[in-house]
Amino acid sequence: MSIRDISVDTLAGAPTTLADLTGDKTLLIVNVASRCGLTPQYEGLVRLQRSYADRGFTVVGVPCNQFLGQEPGSAEEIQEFCAVNYGVDFPLLAKTDVNGEERHPLYAELTRAADAEGKAGDVQWNFEKFLVSRDGEVVGRFRPNVEPGDPALVEAIEKSL
């Protein structure tokens, strides 16, 4: 089964898959939080979305409250925060566990991928990024400190388009 076929819920609670939600686009899946020191990365994620959307790319935000409770809001609060503060115009999924016993099946697959240093496993913090090709293969993993505008990330996106 492809990552694109794993069942997920939208932020509004509607069941779907990444394939149905985004079509055959290249995806940058990012676990996000609204009360984190890295939250300003939303600005860069919105820029990536707007720069590459017409070439078959989308960011997918996955709210997660597992890192010091930095995403405590309801779905409505998360949607409002993202829209009002950052103009988020990419899909957001329901709040999801990315690590631990309740890890969502999407992240069970994503965390098998290694980062640039060859390390796979648990998500380290908010704003960890997974680049998924149109055919559902994880083609890049970027740790939280890699900004959305980082040349290595941008190059990987452009190569995958």
Annotated catalytic residue, options 29, 36, 48, 132: 36
Is 82 labeled as catalytic in the residue annotation? no
CATH number for position 115? 3.40.30.10
Q: Which domain holds residue 11?
A: 3-160
Q: How many domains does the chain have?
A: 1
Q: Is 112 exposed, middle or buried (0-12, 13-18, 19+ CB in 10 A)?
A: exposed
pLDDT value at residue 20: 95
pTM (2 d.p.): 0.97
54-93 per-position pLDDT tens digit: 999 999 999 999 999 999 999 999 999 999 999 999 999 9
pLDDT value at residue 121: 97
